[in-house]
Amino acid sequence: MKKPLLGYGRYLLLLLLPCFAFHPTSVDRREVSTALFAANTQETFDTGTKTDYATGTVALTTGNWILTDGVLGATDADRKNGAQAVRLQGAGKLTMDFYLPTGASTITIQHAIYGSDGSSSWELWAQAQSCNCNKWTKLGNTVSTTSNTLQTAAFTANISGNVKFEIRKTSGGSARLNLDDFAVTEFGTAAPSVDNNNIALGNPSGAVTDVSYFDNYLLVKPQYVMSYNRDQGKPNWVSWHLDIADRDTANRQNDFRNDPSLPDGWYQVQSTSYSGSGFDRGHNCPSADRTSTLENNSATFFMTNMMPQAPNNNQKTWADLENYTRTFLPGNEVYVICGSYGVGGVGSNNATVVNTLDQGRVTVPARCWKVIVVLPVGDNDASRVNANTRIIAIDTPNVNSIDTNWGTYRTSVDAIEKATGYDLLSNLPVDVQTVIESKVDNGPTI
């Protein structure tokens, strides 16, 4: 299960979906709905009555729903599109007491703060009947509700077969949350996959191009996409696509420099910020992955693309893996997501753990990680990833005494997700995620 992350339902489509892990158990027959659903199904919450916060079941147009610490509110302070909306307080929940028989491709939910209450956070969870269990799995990121007008949170699910959903208010407290117009598009009607997009496999942290999200700021460049952390002076993660078109004869530019594309007022890490620290300016997206033009190569030298990396990690272990990744070309294309987490590394100056550089403006990570997805050249990339696709995941200590054999540090995507709280490869079908994210690569390393 992923840790809660900053929500952004009012800004972007959430393209994040964690893996399902199911365990057999019994199913209560009363939960199986006999209703038939059209390609687009919407619950408006305008029928039914529930005026007290005690847990109870209410009959609505789509079927029976269970409200825990919730009511159907029709006051002037309730934010609603029709006659009424769900209102949750405390740790309230809104739960389907039936399964949708046609699966789910996307889900949209209207949400707003109740009256003049403060902000709330909430999550969407799913349960598939096919597993014959009662295990719930969180979809996407935690959503933050801050507006007193209804906003849309959208989730991509791609779940086939019978499925039901539950909304959980996670912020607790006295602030109340309105929910309205719960809409589901049936499985099989999702938009086609995007090819050669640097973030085609998902936005791991739900990063947003909004200055309010200073620790999870979405920075998009033609050469790569990242979640930038202003207060750490480095990326949380960087994602990019690599194929033979990205490789040509452009020379390495070595023009390390500050990134003026950051929002006004944010500190721009300088080319000299790591000087004398015992740590390299370690690329996330490597220079050699962008040699098609001088401009593309130069873009990899923005300091927003750097992390403080122990020299032997950067120049040996990490570099060897980067070189190995490029050997898959030209017959394959590769998606790479990498980043760092934790605080405190050991560079080349001495054996002392260093936490920050540049007068505290740049965090030295404790670990550096990378996930590589290898595909034969083709179309509809995300849809072509399957249980047999080679996935290489590594998680290395950021120390100069590191083993130079990167294969030593192979791990699973699941393990990196647990360590970081991110939702990697979230645009892939759920059944594929379930298989590939638990595997540890055992393929060749040279």
Catalytic position from the list 23, 111, 241, 283: 283
User: What tokens does 216 get?
Assistant: 């999870």
- Longest CA–CA span in the chain (Å) reads 70
CA distance 237 to 67: 38
On the CB side of 377, CA atoms within 13 Å amount to 9
Nearest to 236 by CA among 344, 410, 368: 368
3-class SS of residue 437: coil
CA distance 151 to 142: 15
C-alpha dihedral, 366 to 297 to 239 to 400, nearest 10°: -20
Q: Is the CB of residue 288 less than 8 Å from the CB of residue 240?
A: no
User: 374-386 in b/e burial notation, b at 16+ Cβ within 10 A?
Assistant: bbeeeeebbbebe
Cα angle at 62 between 103 and 153, to 5 degrees?
A: 65
3-class SS of residue 335: strand
C-alpha dihedral, 137 to 139 to 142 to 144, nearest 10°: -130
Is 241 one of the annotated active-site residues of the chain? no
3-class SS of residue 208: strand
Q: Which residues are catalytic?
A: 283
